[in-house]
Amino acid sequence: MSYAVRLIGVIACGVTALVMLAWKLQWEGVTSLLPGLPPMTFNTALGLCLGSISLLCLSMPGQVGQKGPRLRRGSLVAAALAGLLALLTITQMVAGVSLGIDELFAIDTVARAKGSINVPGRMSPATAMAMLLLSLPLVMGSLRSSRDSLRWLVSACSMVAIAIGAMAGASSVIDGGAIRSVPFFSTMALHTSWLFVSLGAGTLMVQFARSTEGVTIGRRPTTRAGLWLTATVILVFAIGIAMTALVSKRTTSKEIETAQARFERLSDRVIVEADRRVYLPVYGLRGLRAFYAGSEHVSRLEFREFVESRVIAEEFPGTIGMGFIERVPSDEIEQFLERERADHAPEYRIKTVGEHDVLYPIKFIDPLEDNVPAWGYDVGSEANRRNAVETAIRTGEPTLTHRITLVQDELEQPGFLFLVPVYENNMPVETEEQRVAALTGLVYSAIVVSGIFDGVVDVAEGGIQYAVHEGTAVTDETKIYEDLGGGVFSLGSSPSRLNSGAKFRATHRVEAGSRTWTIETVSSPVFDASVHSSQSTMVMLNGLILSTLAACFVWLLGCARANAIALVESKTRDLQATTADLRKSSDLIAKQNTELNAMAERAHRVVDDVSHEFRTPLAVIKEFASIISDGLAGPVSEQQGQYLKIMSGAVVDLNHMVEDLLDSSKLRAGRLRVERRPYSVETIFENGRAALARKASSRSIVIEEHVEEGLSRVFADEEKVRRVISNLMTNAIKFSPEGSTIVLSATSSELPGEVRIGVTDRGPGLSEEDIDSLFGRFQQVSTARSVAAKGFGLGLSIAQELTWLNLGKISVESQKGKGATFSFTLPCDDPAIVLDHYFSAMAVSNRAADELVLLRVTAEDCDDPAEPASFLASITYPTDLVLPDTTNNPGQGAVGRSWWILGRTESAMSWVARIDRARWSQIKGDGLDLSPLRIDVRNTWWYPAEAEQAKQEVEQAMVGVASHV
Amino acid sequence: MSKQVLIIDDEWTIQQALQARLTAHGYRVQMAGDGPTGIAAAQEKCPDVILLDLRMPDMDGFEVLRRLKAEASTSEVPVIFLTANIQDTVKEQAKAAGAAGFLTKPYEASTVLDAIGAATAVAA
């Protein structure tokens, strides 16, 4: 396709460059292309040249290579200049001002002379509009804009430009009628319109090529599609050719009509001139007759002086002499001779053949030196001449003889006598008898044919050949003169040499001297050649090019479509194969997931069972050690008491390890129940104080508690908080020197809405490397702290996870040798703060994307609000957030009858179904009496994609109505 | 007269440890190694408090409690679970089933004594 675009670009560039050169060199034929059509102005040629350069740049190879940016830059500049030129022209037209661009490059002197364009050099409105429309897709193509929303605009601009060009072009070659009469089109040149069509098609092809990048163009479609495509291409080409033929035929007919009219016009000129030439002698003869009428007697000398007073050769072409014939009865010949010889002609004699009662001797003939053989010749001695004489006498009209050979013409070429009778003055001449009686004589002209018609053909400007025939028949025998133009003529009855293949032929009747002549005119070869004008050829050429382009375009479109379909089919097959693979993988993953879940369940059960089985013997050992130590089994020595205390401590450590294992297993399996409620820190500390004191006492460690005055209540699962404190404290007790102090503190966090609980020991402290790996599962620091450390290293990992479930963060500050402070944060009891912490906690979760669902659960008929709250805590996941809605139960605080549940699940419906199933399971399976619940799904969001939107909407729903929990 | 405590636990060692501790603190102790024996003993002896294990062969602690509560003669006897099962749900279930206390193994002797003391005081 790019080759076709490049060809269009090169041709357009060449044509426009030639036109610009033609303006400089005044070649009107190039600028107008066809006579009578408007010229392509210099500015139009310049704009189209820039457009074709832009198109060439876009179609050049290397668009995606190193040359790409340079080519696109060149294309952009050229297209922008063309567009600017058009825009300035339109601005001039609309605003009615001159910006000087029309005279900037060339003066349109030809157009100015013709007056067809008011402002020299200015392109027509249609041209300016089409050029502006054409420049837009070129600019967009240069910028490689791929926005779908602009593609239709680019295509539309190209198509409108093509349409404008096509309409103007069609109006030029068809009839130039309706459309040409519209001012918008009236001044667009034929080649301008052709270039708009070509360049517009080029831009469409470039755009099409761009849109099908990645699709192999030119690959053959499938057989079935190929047959349809081939048929379509042939049909398009056939329609194009048929239309071209139709237009061409119409153009040719019009050309022939025009040529016919021109031929008839030239023929008329020849006929009129020939007729005039033939009749010219009559004017001279009438003058001579008038001379006779005005004289009582005309002597030989008077006659000669009269003739010599006229320039015969110029005034009467073909006339070689003018004379006077007198009617002489045969019995008066002698008197006649005597009288004439006495009149300065002693040598005068009559030349006659045969015997006639009346002779018609030529009495005078001048100039005599050219006509001596005719002087005294008895015209009546030859039948043809005698007949003409007698006709002239009888009719009184100028009369021509038939074709004769003049006796004085040594060349013996065809000639005639033109006779005019002269009658006595004052005698009646109304009837034949009166005219015969009143006859004085006849004045006449001796004419040679070659002289009459010499140069007549020049009036036809070489477009006509003609022959003159005597009478109405047109044959070689009747022919008396033939002129082929260019000085070539023939006389007499020779075979015709007129243009035998003439396109145009006509015959005309000419009445002269009571005779009928026929003039046959034919078009000359030069004329015939001019009929084959460039107009029909141009139509054929244009039509052929456009039909070919259209067929190519359809073919390429079809190929691209077929390839696109093939590509889609191929991709679909790949996709189907991939989908099948994915389905298999999905099934496999689901199967593996089920197996993994079963394994996890089994593992958890094993841990649970092991834990259970461990705890019973541990209880026995611990209890009996305690019984012995307490002296219940008899007296115990101090050393024995010391050993028993060590044994009890070991049992406690082992029990902690078992608990850690169990908790870690629960956390991994998501089985840990979380029930967050508002608590004061003092309450939490108080509930755990005894157990912590027992642990600390084993190493004579003192625990100091510091709780900040006026500390806000926290929203947390109290048991989990105590477990975290216990783990941190256990850790601190392990690593603190015996008899040291551990500080358990609760303060406001540096961030608003948070409480920070810290455990500070006087142990060996931690290095930065230790801190980095401190909270991993089964991690134990490899320092002096580890000397006294026992267990699996799960304590801090569990503490971290439990803190996360309480929507807080755990951290440690330590310096080597200076003890350590482990602390964790908890959100204050404020819905907005709790929500903020919830979303922050979810943000660091590595859970896969799923739905975030907001439910509102209402206990319809409930005496004890704690029961549904407990139920909800039992069936929700640790990562779900359950907040009481105090709107429906004002004043009841956390134990209301409505709850918000915010959590992540695969789908809202599956969650609702799970809640329902769990409820029925507890009612039917465990025999619990649960209140009916109404569950409303308030909203769902994709998480984390819609996390921010979800946060805002959840806050609006939950915090907006529950200002305080 | 000293209070009578019925221990229902399939672990003989636990029975022995508890008996030693409670006897030392003035309680009379009866022992049963499984659920049905424990129920029969409860009906026969009418103890002041029952320490009941949860996980036992044949009949678990919940079923024993249900039957004790179902029987008029034993329905008012306070039952304290003493189990190695520390699941949260179990604790909730026990509470819902009408247990007077829920203690986990290994236990602190003082905790057990406090719970028995509290239960017998309420029952009295």
Average pLDDT of A606-627?
84
pLDDT of residue A147: 55
Judge: B17–A620 Cβ closer than 8 Å, yes or no.
yes
Q: Six-digit token pair at A195?
A: 């270039």
Nearest by CB: B109 against A620, A626, A928: A626
pLDDT higher than threshold 70 for residue A149 = no
Half-sphere exposure of A583 (CA within 13 A, CB side): 5
A204 by Cβ neighbours in 10 Å (0-12 / 13-18 / 19+) ranks as: buried
> Taking CA atoms, what residue in B is nearest to A675?
B88
| A771-792 confidence digits (pLDDT tens) | 777 776 555 555 444 444 455 5
pLDDT higher than threshold 80 for residue A592 = yes
Identify the residue with better confidence: A158 or B102.
Answer: B102
Mutate to test the interface with B, among A620, A673, A698 (most CBs of B within 10 A): A620
pLDDT higher than threshold 60 for residue A857 = yes
Chain A residues touching residue B85 (CB < 8 angstroms): 612
Calpha distance A179→A346 (Å, rounded): 84
**Closest C-alpha among A721, A715, A664, A716 to residue A692:** A721
> Taking CA atoms, what residue in B is nearest to A607?
B85
In this complex, is the C-beta atom of A864 within 8 Å of any C-beta atom belonging to chain B? no
pLDDT of residue A243: 86
When mean pLDDT is compared across A71-75, A643-647, A773-777, A809-813, the lowest value belongs to: A773-777
Chain A residues touching residue B13 (CB < 8 angstroms): 616-617, 620
| A667-687 confidence digits (pLDDT tens) | 777 777 788 889 999 999 998
Quickly state the pLDDT bin for A952 (edges 50, 70, 90).
Answer: confident
**Closest C-alpha among A173, A80, A137, A221 to residue A556:** A221
pLDDT of residue A109: 57
pLDDT of residue A519: 92
For chains A and B, what is the number of CB pairs under 8 angstroms?
71
For β-strands B4-8 and B28-32, DSSP reports them as parallel
CA A595 to chain centre: 58
In this complex, is the C-beta atom of B93 within 8 Å of any C-beta atom belonging to chain A? yes
Identify the residue with better confidence: A359 or A18.
Answer: A359
**Closest C-alpha among A553, A540, A475, A555 to residue A507:** A475
When mean pLDDT is compared across A313-322, A602-611, A733-742, A860-869, the lowest value belongs to: A860-869
- Give the dihedral sign, CA A552/A556/A558/A562: positive
Residues 680-699 of A with CB under 8 A from B: 694
Q: What is the DSSP letter of A845?
A: -
Q: What is the DSSP letter of B66?
A: H
Percent of chain A with pLDDT over 90: 20
pLDDT of residue A894: 42
Distances (CA, A) of A131 to A5, A280, A807: 18, 63, 68
**CB contact at 8 A, A1 and A205:** yes
In this complex, is the C-beta atom of B25 within 8 Å of any C-beta atom belonging to chain A? no
pLDDT of residue A955: 84
pLDDT higher than threshold 70 for residue A181 = no
Highest-confidence segment of A24-33, A153-162, A247-256, A336-345: A336-345
pLDDT of residue A118: 47
Average pLDDT of A97-112?
65
- A747 has which bridge partners? A756
pLDDT of residue A216: 45
Task: Note the pTM of the prediction, 2 decimals.
Answer: 0.45
**CB contact at 8 A, A509 and A462:** no
CB crowding A421-453: b at 16 or more within 10 Å, else e: bbbeeeeebeeeeebeebbbbbbbbbbbbbbbb
Quickly state the pLDDT bin for A212 (edges 50, 70, 90).
Answer: low
Judge: A633–B86 Cβ closer than 8 Å, yes or no.
no
Calpha distance A190→A137 (Å, rounded): 23
Cis peptide preceding B57, ω within 30 of 0: no
CB crowding A116-138: b at 16 or more within 10 Å, else e: ebebbbbbbbbbbbbbbbbbbbb
pLDDT higher than threshold 90 for residue A874 = no
pLDDT of residue A919: 78
pLDDT higher than threshold 90 for residue B68 = yes
**Closest C-alpha among A825, A661, A665 to residue A747:** A825
| A26-46 confidence digits (pLDDT tens) | 666 555 555 555 677 788 888
Chain B residues touching residue A622 (CB < 8 angstroms): 106
pLDDT of residue A98: 76
Complex ipTM over 0.90: no
Judge: A615–B18 Cβ closer than 8 Å, yes or no.
no
Calpha distance A709→A706 (Å, rounded): 9
| A388-430 confidence digits (pLDDT tens) | 999 999 999 999 999 899 998 888 888 999 999 999 988 898 9
User: What's the CA angle centered on A433, arms A430 and A438, to 5 degrees?
Assistant: 75
When mean pLDDT is compared across A128-132, A517-521, A760-764, A957-961, the lowest value belongs to: A957-961
- Cβ within 8 Å of residue A748, ≥6 positions away: A708, A711, A712, A754, A755, A756
Average pLDDT of A584-589?
88
User: Residue with structure tokens 């092809």?
Assistant: A205
CB crowding A839-875: b at 16 or more within 10 Å, else e: bebbeeeeeeeebbbbbbbbbeebeebebbbbbbbeb
Calpha distance B118→B115 (Å, rounded): 5
pLDDT of residue A248: 78
Q: What is the DSSP letter of A946?
A: T
pLDDT higher than threshold 70 for residue A179 = no
pLDDT of residue A705: 94
Half-sphere exposure of A802 (CA within 13 A, CB side): 29
pLDDT higher than threshold 70 for residue A12 = yes
Judge: A615–B106 Cβ closer than 8 Å, yes or no.
yes
| A335-368 confidence digits (pLDDT tens) | 999 999 998 889 999 998 888 889 999 999 999 9
Q: Six-digit token pair at A23?
A: 């303006």
Judge: B20–A627 Cβ closer than 8 Å, yes or no.
yes
pLDDT higher than threshold 60 for residue A110 = no
pLDDT of residue A895: 46
Residue A422 identity: V
Average pLDDT of A877-889?
75
Calpha distance A754→A734 (Å, rounded): 29
Nearest by CB: B21 against A616, A623, A673: A623
**Rounded-to-10 torsion of CA A614, A620, A625, A627:** 160
When mean pLDDT is compared across A95-109, A291-305, A595-609, A777-791, the lowest value belongs to: A777-791
Calpha distance A361→A354 (Å, rounded): 13
Residue A851 identity: E
When mean pLDDT is compared across A85-94, A739-748, A856-865, B42-51, the lowest value belongs to: A856-865
Q: What is the DSSP letter of A539?
A: H
pLDDT higher than threshold 50 for residue A893 = no
CA A323 to chain centre: 88
pLDDT higher than threshold 50 for residue A459 = yes
SS (H, E, C) A569-631: HHHHHHHHHHHHHHHHHHHHHHHHHHHHHHHHHHHHHHHHHHHHHHHHHHHHHHHHHHHHHCC
The DSSP code sequence of A193-255 is HHHHHHHHHHHHHHHHHHHTTTS-TT----HHHHHHHHHHHHHHHHHHHHHHHHHHHHHHHHH
Chain B residues touching residue A612 (CB < 8 angstroms): 55, 84-85
Helix, strand, or coil here: A373? helix
When mean pLDDT is compared across A116-125, A236-245, A436-445, A537-546, the lowest value belongs to: A116-125
pLDDT higher than threshold 70 for residue A653 = yes
Identify the residue with better confidence: A324 or A937.
Answer: A324
